[in-house]
Amino acid sequence: MSTITQLHNATPEDLINELRAVFQKELEQIKEHFTPKQPEELLTREEVAKLLKIDISSVHNWSKKGTLKRHAIGGRVYFKRSEIEESLIPY
């Protein structure tokens, strides 16, 4: 099923202006709901210990137990800040 649209008494400039207005409205709606993705902040063991005000051995023990999820790149261990914050439980 196809739809045919015919324009009468419209100049090319009128058509361009009308399309521009429609696209501008759509773009404004997209901007309202768009949130840019923030890059994930990676923390070292030392930074996690400082953030949580604990000893680095506690960071090691908690990561071995699975309380803190660790990620490795080239033999270096990192923790995602969002995952550290998610691991905190209300008390």
pLDDT (tens digit, 9 = 90+) per residue, 71-90? 999 999 999 999 999 988 88
User: What is the number of domains present in the chain?
Assistant: 1
H helical segments located in the chain: 12-33, 45-52, 56-65, 81-87
Instruction: Look up the domain containing 65 and give its range.
Output: 42-87
Q: What is the pTM of this model?
A: 0.58
Is position 21 within any domain? no
Residue at 1 is within a domain: no
- Position 37 in a domain: no
Evaluate if residue 1 carries a pLDDT over 70.
no
Instruction: State the chain's mean pLDDT as an integer.
Output: 89
**55 belongs to a structural domain:** yes
- Residue 31, judged by CB atoms within 10 A of its CB (0-12, 13-18, 19+), counts as exposed
Structure tokens at 53: 């005000």
For residue 56, being part of any structural domain is answered with yes
Q: Is 33 a domain residue?
A: no
